[in-house]
Amino acid sequence: MHLLIALVFVAIMSLPLLLGTTIIAPQTSSILAGPRGIGARAAGGAYTQDCQQDLLDADPFQGPPTYISGSTDAIVPSANVGGGHAGGNYVIKTAGVDAITMPTPIVGLDDNLTVAIYSDTANAHTITAATACIANGVATLKTVINLSSFRGAGVTLRAMNGTWQVVGQTGVSSFA
Residue range 151-170, pLDDT digits in tens? 999 999 999 999 999 999 99
pLDDT the model gives residue 22: 46
Which one is predicted more confidently, 160 or 1?
Answer: 160
pTM (2 d.p.) = 0.73
Q: Does the pLDDT value for residue 5 go beyond 50? A: yes
The mean pLDDT value for 10-28 works out to 49
Which one is predicted more confidently, 176 or 8?
Answer: 176
pLDDT the model gives residue 62: 80
The CATH class that applies to domain 64-175 reads: mainly beta
pLDDT the model gives residue 65: 86
- Helix ranges (H only) for the chain are 2-19, 49-58
Which one is predicted more confidently, 78 or 128?
Answer: 128
The mean pLDDT value for 19-29 works out to 49
Percent helix / strand / coil, the chain, rounded to 5 = 20, 30, 50
If pLDDT is split at 50, 70 and 90, which confidence band does 34 have? low
Q: For residue 53, what are the CA distances in angstroms to 9, 24, 40, 106?
A: 42, 26, 9, 18
